[in-house]
Amino acid sequence: MAIERTALLTGATGNWGRATLHEFRSHPEIRVRAFAQPTARDRAVLEGFADMPNLEVAWGDLTRYVDVAKAIDGVDVILHVGAVVSPIADEKPKLAHRVNIGSMQNIIRAVKALPDPAAVGVIGIGSVAETGDRQAPVHWGRVGDPIRVSQFDEYGQTKVVAEKLLLESGLPKWAWLRQTGIFHPGMLEIRDPIMTHSPFAGVMEWVSAEDSARLLARASSSTVPDEFWRGVYNIGGGDGWRLTNWELQLAIGGAMGVRDVRTWYDRNWFATKNFHGQWYTDSDRLQELIPFREDTFDAALGRALVTLPESVRSAGKVPSWIVKHLVMKPLTRKPRGTMHAIRAAAHDEIRAHFGSLDEWNSIGDWSTFEVPLPSRVPTLLDHGYDEDLPSTAWDVEVYRGVADFRGGSLLTESATVGDIATPLVWRCALGHVFAASPRLVLNAGHWCPDCTRDSATYELQAERNPFLAQLYQGEAAARV
């Protein structure tokens, strides 16, 4: 079959990237150009695709503009998956900012320098981490909800900035996809203190690496509807993938033959807040535009298990005290682990993960544990304007109301009706002045960038920001 289009895939050697390369084998009409660093690891990964006729490789570094500009030459769509993700982003925040933000700046600059920027579609990848911890009763979410990154989550902060860069870039053809948790074999072997950050009562609408790969490959087609472009979307697997973190623990443990996962760790080793995850009310929208869901959680779990070493697959046969005291307990005591924070009296971390030392002490043991049962009835947060009003009718009065609902004000005195792309000038409740387009604020949920970076004070900010306060006021904050 003749090549019809060329797609540039960054992050091609990561978990999602490798799955996407496999998927492109089924799309011989699309040439995929894998962007990778000339390291031994990346070369070894791509050698596994040496027999792929529609694959070519662009060696380079995303933080080098000349490499990016060379890589995008002649492409029809850019799939920008490459990033420094957690937990590495937590260990090396400067690297995460340099790569995750710098790469987006380079891509935007390179596309703008093309003779016809409109000929190239740029698909940027964001994260569920941009909206932070969303537990019951506000565990349902959608694009436009408050941007609220959990404390110490540098990856989430970098994605907020990268999202703003793309949405405000002026490029004619772009889309931003906020990826949820990707279920892939590697996550079953994670042995990092970040495991202790996940509250049992938290939720996540997962998606498989294979479905995510199908999405990117199909988004590279010339048949993608025009409506897809200039939109922000949540990627989610749908109803069958909506799990609590406790349900995920039980499913993985059960698949490995563990009779009772509670014997592996103490209840108070796991944070009660400050992670990320939500069930989406709007993830079906992306499925309607680009159908990609073909997987089930059970099938993905089964595939993951067969790739694991026998020692991991049969973990249930190992005496639980060995796992608890020789594996899990030391993990919790490593830097960034919750018990490391307790032992070191790291009050900022304790406050973030538990609320306070007293609240940690009151968690109790497994005898008082109640299985989390968040409502399956979708709820919507108020975005502060009449959402039945089309964006073509948005005017300065709408924007003033939006600013007021966020405890701030609109400083721009007039605005062209229906122009949602031109930045306006706003002031937040704390007096910070910033520029942002109506699309960024109303559609994507952004507000003051200074306040967003100050994640330790979100609850204090909420006292003057009704939009943000909805996440702290319980059931009264949500409307069915």
pLDDT digits 0-9 by tens, 184-242 = 877 666 678 888 999 999 999 999 999 999 999 999 999 999 999 999 999 999 999 99
Ordered strands of the 409-410 beta sheet: 409-410, 424-427, 433-436
Mean pLDDT of 294-316: 86
pLDDT of residue 479: 35
- For the ranges 121-125, 286-290, 303-307, 330-334, which has the lowest average pLDDT? 303-307
Does residue 477 register a pLDDT over 50? no
CB of 157 closer than 8 Å to CB of 130 = no
pLDDT digits 0-9 by tens, 55-111 = 999 999 999 999 999 999 999 999 999 999 888 898 899 999 999 999 999 999 999
Cα radius of gyration rounded to whole Å, the chain: 23
pLDDT digits 0-9 by tens, 338-386 = 999 999 999 999 999 999 999 999 999 999 999 999 999 999 999 999 9
pLDDT of residue 393: 98
pLDDT of residue 337: 94
Helix 93-112 and helix 154-167, axial crossing angle in degrees, nearest 10: 10
Distance CA 329, CA 105 (A): 42
> What value does the mean pLDDT of the chain take?
94
Confidence of residue 446 (pLDDT cuts 50, 70, 90): very high
pLDDT of residue 90: 86
The domains found in the chain, sorted by start residue, are 5-244+276-303 (3.40.50.720), 391-444+447-477 (no CATH)
Residue 399 CA, chain-centre distance (Å), reads 27
pLDDT digits 0-9 by tens, 36-55 = 999 999 999 999 999 999 99
- For the ranges 217-226, 254-263, 459-468, which has the lowest average pLDDT? 254-263
pLDDT of residue 474: 59
Distance CA 10, CA 79 (A): 6
Q: In residues, how long is the chain?
A: 480
Does residue 149 register a pLDDT over 60? yes
Mean pLDDT of 116-138: 97
Closest CA to 478 of 137, 133, 128, 130: 137
pLDDT of residue 316: 81
Does residue 476 register a pLDDT over 50? no
The DSSP code for 138 is S
Query: How many Cα atoms occupy the beta-carbon half-sphere of 462 within 13 Å?
Result: 15
Burial of residue 209 (number of CB atoms within 10 Å: 0-12, 13-18, 19+):
buried
Instruction: Extract the tokens encoding 467.
Output: 């939009």
